[in-house]
A and B are shown apart, each in its own frame.
Chain A
């Protein structure tokens, strides 16, 4: 595994080229193609093997895991680990909590960051400098500085040990980053396009809807993805703010599971981990196509 890490950075470097290479020579292509595939294979192994192993472990029985002559693939597909994990670790409830928190955070953050990001990118006021500085600063400050006073504030308004409190914290915590990304994407859209739209007599709203929004879509999708995933994955704030077992999010439940880990429990642990990853993978898959078939890459092909 470590080998793949050290090899890959330098591997693909010389093979740089866009999909359109009208001037490139055929011979150079014949040499670089195999290297490119070799590098790609390295990445696929490094990225994929741990996932495959997790999957395999989840299907193995305790006997197989303890066997002195282990086989790589499980002898049979049995779902005992999954059933045991669901029954034991209260996964369904934790998943519900995680989903509520992550989706609410994404919706709120997207709604309030979009107009703000547009203002930051297009209107060059003093506010822009202050806001950019703040966005960066708020990312720099370690959570430890925020969490203690935040804990005290949330306690005063009764939002400790409360999903609403967690949503609030996640919103504030994801907002700077969403703003930073979005304003970058908006700044990347040539302002001339908007001016041209205005010249053609388009109203402000029409320009935003027909010109800016389609170009912004990949960026907007990427940003909301960041927000959802970070809410779903977050561990630290939840660890400090949530104590009630009924309100635990998935990462908390899983981390507790690790404490009880023994050789026999490895299969269940793997199964629980897989289940915890599924909802967010599904969510990811739904919008992934919009992410990859971004408008600008479409324009390249057309």
Chain B
């Protein structure tokens, strides 16, 4: 109990209390500015939200973004972690490169990819042109390519955390188990499926859960890449709520959006974690 106390106090003061207040704000008509009276308006925010098509569209985009990035990121990172766990030459190069995005601020990553995807100057279009394809795609400005393009950037940006975590997990898999399985004649694939994967499972569950939450709540990358454009095609819920709160000053309405986001993401996590907990028991 004594050990937990130092961690408990700041969390309660600056996390639990503001959070509780934030949830309450979602049921008020609070606005920015001093001296504006705040009154509870019950579920009025939510009935307004239910009819707000822009918000639901942003929600749909947020889910596509979060799941798309998390899933691609997981497979790409698992592959890389497995490679890094082998005794390959140039492993150090891949390992170093894989760590670099982690050290980069999302704002810098966004700036870098704006350069990469620049329609006239960027090397992505340059490369397409070099192999004979049309090289005048406005990746971040076109309705059909903006969301896929930012998802690729999201995968690039989030790979280090996932890779390092998975690699740490791989290194914790006891080699004795691998040796025993190999002696029993298990193939490489069988060893992966029956030895590596079960040992890795808690870490996989933890990192994919966190990735999903992070991605759903991510802000800086998209804020700098597209600011939600073109025409709201990459308007993640966080950006939408931020605009509502700090551009239009509707604190209460923005908090209500936050409440809805929490409920949806919580439902997804509940289903996911319960299925994982069950399969571990059986």
Contact = CB atoms under 8 A, between A and B. Distances in A.
A21 B87 CA distance: 11
Contact of B111 (A18, A270, A300): A270
26 contacts: A8-B76, A16-B188, A16-B191, A17-B178, A18-B173, A43-B98, A47-B97, A47-B98, A116-B6, A118-B3, A134-B11, A137-B266, A142-B261, A143-B219, A144-B261, A148-B30, A153-B17, A175-B11, A177-B210, A179-B7, A219-B168, A251-B106, A255-B224, A258-B224, A288-B99, A296-B171
A48 B100 CA distance: 9
Nearest to A58: B115
Interface in A251-302: 251, 254-255, 258, 261, 263, 266, 269-270, 273, 276-277, 280-281, 283-284, 288, 291-292, 294, 296-297, 300
Contact of A47 (B91, B159, B189): B159
A145 B22 contact: yes
A145 B262 contact: yes
Nearest to A128: B4
A141 B111 contact: no
A16 B192 contact: yes
A23 B94 CA distance: 27
B156 interface: yes
B196 interface: yes
B171 A53 contact: no
Given A22-B182, A43-B98, A1 B116 contact: yes
Given A120-B4, A233-B105, A145 B82 contact: no
Q: Of B108, B127, B171, B206, which is in contact with the most chain A CB atoms at under 10 Å from its CB?
A: B108
Interface in B7-36: 7-8, 10-11, 14-19, 21-23, 25-26, 30
Interface string A109-152: 00111011011100000010001001011111111111111101
Interface string A1-25: 1100100111111111111111110
Interface of A: 1-2, 5, 8-24, 28, 32, 36-37, 39-40, 43-44, 46-51, 53-54, 57, 65, 70, 111-113, 115-116, 118-120, 127, 131, 134, 136-150, 152-153, 168-169, 171-173, 175-177, 179-180, 184, 188, 218-219, 222, 225-226, 229, 232-236, 240, 250-251, 254-255, 258, 261, 263, 266, 269-270, 273, 276-277, 280-281, 283-284, 288, 291-292, 294, 296-297, 300
B102 A144 contact: no
Helix, strand, loop or mixed for chain A's interface? helix
Interface of B: 1, 3-4, 6-8, 10-11, 14-19, 21-23, 25-26, 30, 72, 75-76, 78-80, 82-83, 85-91, 93-95, 97-108, 110-116, 118, 121, 123-124, 127, 148, 152, 155-156, 159, 161, 164-165, 168, 171-173, 175, 178-179, 182-183, 185, 188-189, 191-192, 196, 202-203, 206, 209-210, 213-214, 216-217, 219-220, 223-224, 237-238, 241-242, 245-246, 251, 254-255, 257-259, 261-262, 265-266, 269
Contacts of B23: 145
Given A44-B97, A145-B258, A235-B220, 15 more contacts: A43-B80, A46-B156, A115-B6, A134-B16, A145-B26, A146-B18, A149-B18, A150-B18, A173-B15, A218-B168, A255-B224, A258-B224, A266-B118, A284-B99, A294-B171
Contacts of B189: 14, 16
B115 A140 contact: no
Contacts of B209: 136
Contacts of A168: 10, 14
B206 A180 contact: yes
B115 A53 contact: yes
B269 A140 contact: yes
B190 to A, nearest CB: 10
Contacts of B203: 184
A258 B179 CA distance: 54
Contact of B25 (A112, A149, A176, A233): A149
Nearest to B108: A273
A179 B114 CA distance: 35
A195 to B, nearest CB: 19
B206 A184 contact: yes
A220 to B, nearest CB: 12
Given A47-B97, A144-B238, A150-B18, A251 B111 contact: no
B246 A240 contact: yes
A266 B121 contact: yes
Of the listed residues A150, A263, A270, the one surrounded by the most CB atoms of chain B closer than 10 A to its CB is A150
Contacts of A37: 88-90
Contacts of A136: 209, 269
